[in-house]
Structure 1
């Protein structure tokens, strides 16, 4: 169950980074509010997850989900580059996240 909580926390990390971009330096109230809601939920859920998942593993997975999700948001919604090397390293990061899940008790 805590792995699911950790994944959701990572998705909220993608939410807060996306809202951060859209908040236009916190001048757009709607996206600024979304940022604070998402970051609060992300940290709360991360805190719940580390009750049973080792801290280093949970943090690496949380930031990995956030990094992969944020890069994918950039590629699909903001026309950021998606060249071979960038995608290769995203897949390596995904593999590392899966590997941490496999080797963690």
Structure 2
């Protein structure tokens, strides 16, 4: 169950990071509300998952899901650059998460 909660927390991190970009520095009301609400939910689920998962693993998976998800959202929703180096960087993050998961 902790892994499911951690995955949801990571996905919510993607939502709040994307909403934060859309809030234009918290000058847009609804994206700002979505940012704050999903940020609190993401942190809360991370905290619950950390009750039974190691700190380093939990945090790395949470940040990794958020980083790679935000990378993809930036490309799809905001027209950010897609090039070989950025894809390689995201691939290394995913590989690191996989190794951390296998390690413990």
What TM-score range do you get, normalising by the shorter chain? over 0.9
1:25 CA drift (Å): 1.4
Partner of 2:55: 55
Counterparts of 1:10-49 in structure 2, within 5 Å, are: 10-49=10-49
Inter-partner Cα distance in structure 1 for 2:48 and 2:79: 35
| CA–CA distance in structure 2, aligned partners of residues 27 and 11 of structure 1 | 24
Aligned residue pairs, count: 104
Q: With structure 1 as the length reference, what TM-score do the two structures score? A: 0.95
Cα offset for 1:103? Answer: 1.4
**Bigger Cα displacement from structure 2, 76-85 vs 41-50:** 76-85
Tell me the C-alpha RMSD between the 2 structures: 0.8
C-alpha distance in 2 between matches for 1:38 and 1:86: 26
Which residue of the partner structure matches residue 67 of structure 2? 67
TM score, norm. by length of structure 2: 0.95
Q: Distance in 2 between matches of 1:11 and 1:76?
A: 16
